């Protein structure tokens, strides 16, 4: 029982006792209250009134003294992309891909198929692992001139509650501004289309 409840109950009791002691004074119950009051230096109703006011006051002070909980923040969203490094060439790109800490069952293909510069393939992975893999792809893309498109294929992955294109968009949005790409759902995955691809990918 908290102090606010104690205070309210004490005030209610004080009101009843005050009515019996000051207003009624004739009923059997009121006479009992008057008799008890005559044996005390302070009437019962006054004692309960003081207890009620004190309990409510202390309860209010405790509520004001409680530290406020920090606001729950969502995952950070990138507003502006840092200046990317120069295109590393195909061999350099392959080396960067191999250096990525991809989760188990995930791999990134380069020019496979030829129209897709980067192709993230995720096999039999739950949503959390897919998010981590897409995040690793986002780290890679954040340091490169943007390609025209990349593909993320989910093969035999359990269907999440949120559509895959929303999952991929949110994970990439932690590393790239959402204004720079759109995610298009496909049969077994999604395509990420970049609005301002770098011309180095066309050579």
- Looking at residue 75, what is its pLDDT? 57
**Helix (H), strand (E) at residue 153:** strand 149-155
Q: Which residue ranges make up each domain of the chain?
A: 3-65, 89-201
- Looking at residue 191, what is its pLDDT? 96
- Looking at residue 72, what is its pLDDT? 43
Mean pLDDT (10-residue bins), the chain, 203 residues:
76 78 76 78 81 81 67 53 61 89 94 91 95 95 92 94 95 94 92 92 65
- Looking at residue 36, what is its pLDDT? 79
The answer to whether the pTM exceeds 0.75 is no
Report the candidate in 89, 91, 127, 92 with the shortest Cα–Cα distance to residue 106: 127
Transcribe 18-54 into DSSP letters: HIIIIII-SSHHHHHHHHHHHTSSS-HHHHHHHHHHH
């Amino acid at each position: 029982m908290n102090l606010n409840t104690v205070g309210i109950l004490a005030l209610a009791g004080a009101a009843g006792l005050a009515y019996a002691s000051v207003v009624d004074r004739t009923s059997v119950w009121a006479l009992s209250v008057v008799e008890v009051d005559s044996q005390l230096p302070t009437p019962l109703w006054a004692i309960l009134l003081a207890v009620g006011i004190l309990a409510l006051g202390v309860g209010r002070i405790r509520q004001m003294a409680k530290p406020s909980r920090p606001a729950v923040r969502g995952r950070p969203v990138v507003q502006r992309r840092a200046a990317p490094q120069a295109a590393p060439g195909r061999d350099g790109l392959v080396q960067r891909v191999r250096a990525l800490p991809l989760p188990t069952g995930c791999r990134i293909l380069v020019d496979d198929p030829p129209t897709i510069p980067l192709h993230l393939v995720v096999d039999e992975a739950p949503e959390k692992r897919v998010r981590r893999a897409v995040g690793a792809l986002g780290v890679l893309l954040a340091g490169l001139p943007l390609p025209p498109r990349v593909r993320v294929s989910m093969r035999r992955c359990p269907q999440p509650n949120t559509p895959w294109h929303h999952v991929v968009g949110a994970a990439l949005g932690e590393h790239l501004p959402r204004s720079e790409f759109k995610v298009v759902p496909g049969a077994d995955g999604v395509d990420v289309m970049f609005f301002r691809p770098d011309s180095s990918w066309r050579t």
